[in-house]
């Protein structure tokens, strides 16, 4: 199986259960591991024969723009959007990391990982 990985896509967005999170916002990191057949692109060296990761990024950015309560829900929305837009994706792993979540204590991040 061939994989395309997009690492540490950084977004500032307004997700969260707490009202304050929806007002102040936070930094989120998204990582993708997409499985697909890249054999044609390996031979042709042509962009149209592979998955254009600039277009993938735009789809993720569009989903990140719409507030959600939970990062679990957000990750699922990213999976669904990518599978709908790019049917050549055979499998997907998405990681959504919320940086410095608002808790009583010190935590660098909270992250969910979905595989579809």
For residue 22, report the phi and psi dihedrals to the nearest 5 degrees: -75, -20
Strands 109-115 and 91-99: antiparallel
Extended beta strands in the chain, E state: 2-13, 26-36, 91-99, 109-115
Q: Does the active-site annotation cover 98?
A: yes
Residues catalogued as catalytic = 98
């Amino acid at each position: 199986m061939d994989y395309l990985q997009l690492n540490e896509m950084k977004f500032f967005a307004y997700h969260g259960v707490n009202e304050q999170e929806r007002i102040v916002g936070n930094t989120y990191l998204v990582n993708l591991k997409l499985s697909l057949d890249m054999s044609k692109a390996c031979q042709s060296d042509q962009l149209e024969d592979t998955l254009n990761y600039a277009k993938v990024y735009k789809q993720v950015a569009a989903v990140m723009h719409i507030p959600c309560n939970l990062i679990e829900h957000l990750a699922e929305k990213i999976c669904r959007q990518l599978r709908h837009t790019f049917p050549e994706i055979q499998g997907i792993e998405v990681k959504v990391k919320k940086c410095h979540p608002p808790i009583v204590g010190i935590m660098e991040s909270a992250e969910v990982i979905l595989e579809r």
